[in-house]
Each structure stands twice: as C-alpha cells, then as structure tokens.
Amino acid sequence: MTTHHRVRLSDSYVISPTFLFRWEASQDAHVLLYPEGIVKLNDTGGTILKHCNGESTVAELIDELNALYRADRDAIAEGVIKFLEVSHAKGWIRVAS
C-alpha cells in the first residue's frame, strides 16, 4: 500500500541524494542521472526541479512560472503540484528538512 504525498504551498523540496540533476548538452535538456539510468526532462520539468533547492517554496515556484509563462495561475499551480507529487512518488525529490 502506498500513501499519496500531499504537496503544500509552504513546502520546499530537494533532489533526492540518489539522483544528480544537471544540464546535459548532448540531450539538450536537464536530466536526472541515477545508477540505473537517466531521465530526460522537458523544459518545464527542468525549471521545476531547478527550484528544488531547499529554499524556494512551492508558492514561490508557482509565482515564478506564472511570471515566466504568463498563463492561467490556477493551471500552472495544478501542473506544478501534480509534477511534484509524481516526482516525489518516483523518489526524485523529498521535502527539505
């Protein structure tokens, strides 16, 4: 049985220590490297994970993406929260302590 992680706007996240997040020129994308392979991220995924530095809150991340994409804030918030939930479930990120 798995429990669903609920993302809060006041949460800050960090990349899990088993993953290395970086720009990979050969992929022309941000990637997550881990012992078993690589995850190539799209632009938005890379931008979101770039903010998983333990300092930026989810609310700050949503505000930044809203300013960057100038789209519907509610849609951006929904997308960010869903991405963070999936990333947490996959073990890519964890809540900063």
Element (H, E) at 38: strand 37-40
Provide the residue type at 85 as one letter: E
Domain ranges of the chain: 12-16+42-95
| The pLDDT of residue 68 | 87
pTM beyond 0.75, yes or no: yes
Rg (CA), the chain: 13
Q: How far apart are CA 13 and CA 11, in angstroms?
A: 7
Picking from 55-59, 66-70, 91-95, which range would have the lowest pLDDT averaged per residue?
A: 66-70
In the predicted structure, residue 1 carries a pLDDT above the cut 80: no
Q: State residue 3's pLDDT score.
A: 59
* pLDDT tens by residue, 18-28: 999 999 999 99
